[in-house]
Amino acid sequence: MTSDVRNEVDGFMRGLTKRNPGEPEFHQAVREVVETLMPFVNEHREYKDAQILERMTEPDRIIIFRVTWEDDQGHIRANRAWRVQFNNSIGPYKGGLRFHPNVTQSVLKFLGFEQVFKNSLTGLPMGGGKGGSNFNPKGKSDREVMRFCQSMMVELHRHIGEDTDVPAGDIGVGAREISYLFGFYKRLENRFSGILTGKGLAFGGSLVRTEATGYGCVYFCENMLNHRGDSLKHKTCLVSGSGNVAIYTVEKATQLGGKVVTLSDSSGFIHDPDGIDAEKLAFIKDLKEVRRGRIAEYTTQFTNATFHEQQRPWSVPADIAFPCATQNELSLDDAKILLANNIQAVCEGANMPTELDGVHQLINTKVLFGPAKAANAGGVAVSGLEQSQNALRLSWSREEVDQRLRTIMHDIHEKCIEHGNGDGYINYMKGANIAGFVKVADAMLAYGVV
């Protein structure tokens, strides 16, 4: 980056930080994008003259509301919830809902901002949004989760719709929560329509949506490796997290010949040097998707494995790392350890899992770096396919949806190459940011001043 561009980025970030104080995650997500986009925007004066970057970093609106509910002991509880409707230039707002105690407006703004670019990259007509609550589903009974979801929908139903805003799942929001939310929307509105994605197969859900983010992330990684004349076969892989994205990343990476040796949750990570095969993954699915247990239990079942309390998996030597838990789970020091162990690729299943200086370190060292916006777009892409099926009132086969997912991930990879190729090294972050930006920016230009 030249010093002129650096000054321009710093100036832009000073203004953004002043307008959005106390929102470090949002600042981080915007800085990453602005650093790569500023030279491009300077070369395309029409974007600069129309203040597209300034407009794209300001959400269309944010809805904030209280959610009151009653726990099993009869105590009244109050949480805060948000829906950040970030940008609907190329389609209705689309993006997940997150339930986690560390959810803040900053976290949801970073997620909503990135969703705009990600959804654009899928090639489907989806704008970007995100929502959620600081509600902690951990340790709550099904009935408590149901009462919370119903109370949340009492407000949320006014703001969503198949042509307005279509939420889905994210951390802490899976099949159970989407079912409670959908059932209550239907009751409030007396309408059965595709206002949420990630629905159950009996009521409008799509095959492969559960697997889509993890599978898509591995397809993207395989595309990056193939482009270098390599593949996942015989590669040792690290996966963090043990939720929806992590589980199906392990499944597909294993099917493509990789050996996954780690998984984690917020208590620590497990290391299984023999690899987590299909049988062991079935145990994890039951542990995490059914019993909602802790990853440490893996070592009681598979005694060759070890549990490392309160640690992350990045110190285990491997070829490929898939961070699939949460934001900022891979620091600059972690990146240096991965590089010292000769990592070949880092492919982000989670949103913004790598700290920005860690990203710079990986890209400067020219390892393959698959940024979240591109690498985890498979989830929202199949959500888009769920919307299409709902609109058509039919269901596509598993093979059909999986084939479309593969094609979309392949096309995203191509777009990253188109905009990120420099001297033979593909800067996928730059490619994804520019390719995602152009479609949204062109729509905004066409609309004039809105």
Catalytic (active site) residue 285: no
379 binds ligand NDP (CB under 6 A): yes
Stretch that binds ligand NDP, among 52-60, 166-174, 181-189, 393-401 (CB under 6 A): 166-174
- Tell me if 170 contacts ligand 2IT by CB under 6 A: yes
Residue 350 touches which of ligand NDP, ligand 2IT, none (Cβ within 5-8 Å per kind)? ligand NDP
Looking at this protein, which amino acid is placed at residue 123?
G
Size of the site for ligand NDP (CB under 6 A): 22
**Beta carbons of 321 and 19 less than 8 angstroms apart:** no
Q: Is-contact 210 168, C-beta < 8 A?
A: no
Give the count of beta carbons closer than 10 Å to the beta carbon of residue 414.
13
Nearer to ligand NDP, 9 or 349 (CB): 349
Near ligand 2IT by CB under 6 A: residue from 92, 96, 349, 353: 96
Q: Which is nearer to ligand 2IT, 376 or 427 (CB)?
A: 376
Distance in Å, CB of 350 to ligand NDP, minimum: 3
User: Which residues sit opposite 422 in a β-bridge?
Assistant: 425
Please give the Cα distance from 131 to 65 (Å, whole number): 11
Instruction: Examine residue 168 and tell whether it contacts ligand 2IT (CB under 6 A).
Output: yes
Taking the C-alpha atoms of residue 227 and residue 409, their distance in angstroms, rounded to an integer, is 13
**Is residue 383 within the footprint of ligand 2IT (CB under 6 A)?**
yes
Binding residue (CB under 6 A) for ligand NDP from 85, 120, 244, 249: 244
With CB under 5 to 8 Å by kind, the binding choice for 241 among ligand 2IT, ligand NDP, none is ligand NDP
Q: What are phi and psi of 113, to 5 degrees?
A: -65, -50
CB of 383 to ligand 2IT, least distance (A): 3
What is d(CA 272, CA 263) in angstroms, rounded to the nearest whole number? Answer: 9
**Total length of the chain:** 450
Residue of 36, 151, 326, 390 that binds ligand NDP (CB under 6 A): 326
Q: How far is the CB of 89 from ligand 2IT (least distance, A)?
A: 17
Q: Specify the residue, 246 or 276, whose C-beta has the smaller distance to ligand 2IT.
A: 246
Instruction: With residue 399 as reference, give the H or E element that holds it.
Output: helix 398-420
Residues pairing with 269 in the sheet: 264, 308
Our measurement of the distance from residue 301's CA atom to the centroid of its chain's CA atoms, rounded to an integer in Å, reads 31
Q: Distance of alpha carbon 444 from its chain centroid, rounded?
A: 24
DSSP letters along 84-95, please?
EEEE-SSSSEEE
Query: What's 46's DSSP letter?
Result: H
Residues near ligand NDP (CB under 6 A) are 169-172, 174, 213, 241-246, 265-266, 324-326, 349-351, 376, 379
Residues near ligand 2IT (CB under 6 A) are 94-96, 115, 118, 168, 170, 197, 351, 379-380, 383
